[in-house]
């Protein structure tokens, strides 16, 4: 009798495993805290759908999508024309939420710091090397900045967060545009690299005097201070749900049909200047066993998923954009 019960349990396990649909994705670390929450909550509602996600950076996610080693990719930077041409079939960019890239710093006792785009560019080019530099002090007159060296921290892996940050720097600094440029990977003039938002956060935490760029949720999780950045309207703005949403509002009219666009250094008095969409990347032609449950999940992410975003520091998509995304999902065809 005991053996029969064990046999029934084993058969039941394999029956469940064969009935459950496993979907694999990889890519951006920027939205990883949110995606982990989404996939867990969705599995509670749809126990027969399990979504696994590897936080390997946007560059890795795009490569694995192109190589078809994952069912979907994720990136904070839209795929380039060259990358799209390498894909096996047309790719659909699905914007999921809005986020902010923030400049976190480790200066004990200093909780407020203002920087202009020009100062940020000079710091990351190694032209400003000490925190009490007269240019930094002039922008922060109410704070006595310490006489210590600045340690710059950056992403060493192919990163959508890097693409967003350098896209901003290219727009505000002709010298940065000429010397360094933008992209998921660049040749940094100075500093120390860490892998993923997690790696850069670890470096900032360990090094007094450091500054680096990470996604807002990583700064909050690590209790970092972060910079108020002067925007296009001349206002020093802190990253928040409201200021990230403000950055998107002025660009929605110009949103292309494929959703690939930059919103860094946008217009608006309250717009945070290093804001961006983050994307899930899927092929338009998919097998029904993967495609159907993945599309169902993506539609769910446009509804209940948006509500979960707020608590993790991500700005939900505007309602009119959600409507367009739902329409785009109907383009996915099942083989």
Span 158-168, mean pLDDT?
94
- CA–CA distance, 280 with 328 (Å, rounded to integer): 13
- State whether the Cα torsion 256-264-253-333 is positive or negative: positive
- CA–CA distance, 25 with 71 (Å, rounded to integer): 6
Residue 263 corresponds to which tokens in the numbers above?
A: 């919103």
The answer on pLDDT for 267 being more than 90 is no
Pick the CATH number of 101-254 from 3.40.190.10, 3.40.50.2300, 3.40.640.10, 3.30.1490.190: 3.40.190.10
Q: In terms of pLDDT, which residue wins out, 168 or 318?
A: 168
Query: Which pLDDT value is given to residue 14?
Result: 41
Query: Which pLDDT value is given to residue 325?
Result: 96
Asked if 98 and 276 touch (Cβ cutoff 8 Å), the reply is: yes
The answer on pLDDT for 317 being more than 50 is yes
User: Confidence class of residue 3 from pLDDT cuts 50, 70 and 90?
Assistant: low
The answer on pLDDT for 6 being more than 80 is no
Query: Which pLDDT value is given to residue 17?
Result: 42
Q: Which fold has domain 2-99+276-334?
A: D-Maltodextrin-Binding Protein; domain 2 (3.40.190)
- CA–CA distance, 30 with 59 (Å, rounded to integer): 12
Span 291-316, mean pLDDT?
94
Asked if 333 and 286 touch (Cβ cutoff 8 Å), the reply is: yes
Percentage of the chain lying above the pLDDT 90 cut: 86
CATH topology match: 2-99+276-334 vs 101-254: yes
- CA–CA distance, 220 with 183 (Å, rounded to integer): 25
The answer on pLDDT for 7 being more than 70 is no
User: Confidence class of residue 19 from pLDDT cuts 50, 70 and 90?
Assistant: low
The answer on pLDDT for 34 being more than 60 is yes
Task: Indicate the pairing of strand 151-155 with strand 192-194.
Answer: parallel
- CA–CA distance, 277 with 77 (Å, rounded to integer): 8
Residue 323 corresponds to which tokens in the numbers above?
A: 């409507």
Span 148-165, mean pLDDT?
95
Span 50-72, mean pLDDT?
95
User: Confidence class of residue 250 from pLDDT cuts 50, 70 and 90?
Assistant: confident
Given its phi and psi angles, is residue 57 left (phi above 0), alpha (psi -120 to 50 degrees) or beta? left
**Range with lowest mean pLDDT among 4-18, 122-136, 245-259, 313-327:** 4-18
The answer on pLDDT for 38 being more than 50 is yes
User: Confidence class of residue 214 from pLDDT cuts 50, 70 and 90?
Assistant: very high
Domain boundaries, the chain: 2-99+276-334, 101-254
**Range with lowest mean pLDDT among 16-30, 216-230, 234-248:** 16-30
The answer on pLDDT for 248 being more than 70 is yes
User: Confidence class of residue 169 from pLDDT cuts 50, 70 and 90?
Assistant: very high
Query: Which pLDDT value is given to residue 312?
Result: 87
């Amino acid at each position: 009798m005991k053996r029969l019960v064990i046999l029934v349990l084993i058969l039941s396990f394999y029956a469940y495993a064969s009935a459950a649909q496993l979907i694999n994705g990889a890519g951006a670390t920027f939205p990883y805290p949110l995606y982990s929450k989404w996939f867990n909550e969705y599995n509670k509602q749809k126990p027969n759908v399990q979504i696994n996600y590897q936080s390997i950076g946007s560059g890795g996610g795009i490569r694995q999508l192109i190589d078809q080693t994952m069912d979907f990719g994720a990136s904070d930077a839209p795929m380039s024309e060259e990358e799209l041409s390498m894909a096996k079939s047309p790719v659909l960019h699905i914007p999921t939420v809005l986020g902010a890239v923030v400049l976190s710093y480790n200066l004990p006792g200093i909780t407020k710091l203002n920087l202009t785009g020009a100062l940020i560019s000079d710091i990351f080019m190694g032209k400003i090397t000490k925190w009490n530099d007269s240019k930094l002090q002039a922008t922060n007159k109410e704070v006595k900045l310490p006489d210590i060296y600045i340690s710059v921290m950056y992403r060493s892996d192919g990163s959508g967060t890097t693409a967003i940050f350098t896209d901003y720097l290219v727009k505000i600094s002709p010298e940065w545009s000429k010397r360094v440029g933008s992209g998921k990977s660049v040749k940094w003039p100075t500093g120390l690299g860490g892998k993923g938002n997690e790696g850069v956060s670890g470096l900032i935490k360990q090094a007094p005097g450091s500054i680096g760029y990470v996604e807002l949720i990583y700064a909050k999780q690590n209790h970092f201070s972060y910079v108020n950045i002067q925007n296009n309207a001349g206002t020093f703005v802190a990253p928040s749900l409201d200021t990230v949403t403000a950055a998107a509002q002025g660009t929605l009219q110009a949103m292309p049909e494929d959703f690939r666009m930059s919103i860094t250094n946008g217009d608006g008095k309250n717009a945070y200047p290093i804001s961006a969409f983050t994307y899930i990347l899927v092929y338009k032609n998919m097998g029904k066993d993967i495609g159907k449950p993945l599309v169902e999940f993506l539609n769910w992410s446009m509804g209940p998923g948006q509500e979960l975003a707020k608590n993790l520091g991500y700005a939900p998509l505007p309602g009119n954009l959600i409507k367009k995304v739902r329409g785009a999902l109907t383009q996915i065809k099942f083989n």
